[in-house]
Amino acid sequence: MPRRKKGIVTLAFDDAYLDTYKHAIKYLDKLNIKSTIAVPASFIGKRFENRRLAGLEELKDNLKRGHEIASHTLTHPNLSRLSLKDKNEMISEIVESKKELEGLLHNKVNSFVFPYINKNQLGRGGLNLPYLLKARPYYKSARFTADSPYFNKIPVKNPYSIIGFAIMKKHSLSYLKKQVDYAEKKKCWLIMVFHLVGEKNTESFHRPKPYRFFMHIDVFRELIDYILSKDIMLLTQKDAVKNSS
């Protein structure tokens, strides 16, 4: 029986910060909502950009509760800055991270998430093909990240060039609600990418300023409650690709 077409929201947590686990992901668990958590495999339980990442126990707990763990490379390099002669490094970041995560978690890793905002590749209207080709044999989908809202079409034409929207503290709750409204109305797929969600922000690793990719947990809760009030599906990256292709 054909499914009625509906919009989709994916909640994605890039970098798997421990604070985000404690606050945001635990809140989702109470509501039985599943998210996609993108982990740089070499930093599990360690510090990354001066913030602690979730450890293996937390990631296993996420899996048990139905969240998806996606690969976010091994060491979080900016792959778009690697030159062709770093090809082996690039392949290892994409391929070895999957093996590493699958070995640690005893669970299949289906989705890949490219690190950093991929402004340049996306801006020219095309994605950087060599990277896509590298990920294709190993993953069922690969996601890039933009710094403005992006609405992926359903059905998804190319699951290796889906795009997420990196939410920053400058984005107001009412602005974010409008993006959800749009995805509902146009029946498209909005991937909301969070980084640090908690009670307190931290200093940015790259500049002497507060971290730009922070959201207070109270705002996050309000946003989730709003999404739940809409006629829209909340799916992981893996399930959204399955559902909409």
Binding footprint of Zn ion on the chain (CB under 5 A): 14-15, 115
Residue of this chain nearest to Zn ion (CB atom): 14
Ramachandran angles phi, psi of 45, nearest 5°: 75, 5
The tokens for 96 are 């070895």
Residue that is written with structure tokens 């690709």 in the block: 241
Return the number of the residue (15 or 19) whose C-beta is nearest Zn ion.
Answer: 15
Return the number of the residue (18 or 173) whose C-beta is nearest Zn ion.
Answer: 18
Q: Where are the alpha helices (DSSP H) in 26-172?
A: 26-31, 56-64, 87-105, 119-123, 129-135
Return the number of the residue (7 or 43) whose C-beta is nearest Zn ion.
Answer: 43
Q: What is the largest CA-CA distance in the chain?
A: 55
Residue that is written with structure tokens 């990920």 in the block: 135
What is the DSSP-derived secondary structure letter of residue 106? Answer: T
Least distance from Zn ion to the Cβ atom of residue 14, Å: 4
Least distance from Zn ion to the Cβ atom of residue 76, Å: 6
Return the number of the residue (15 or 184) whose C-beta is nearest Zn ion.
Answer: 15
Least distance from Zn ion to the Cβ atom of residue 113, Å: 7
What is the DSSP-derived secondary structure letter of residue 211? Answer: -
Return the number of the residue (114 or 220) whose C-beta is nearest Zn ion.
Answer: 114
Least distance from Zn ion to the Cβ atom of residue 20, Å: 12
Least distance from Zn ion to the Cβ atom of residue 40, Å: 7
Ramachandran angles phi, psi of 115, nearest 5°: -75, 160
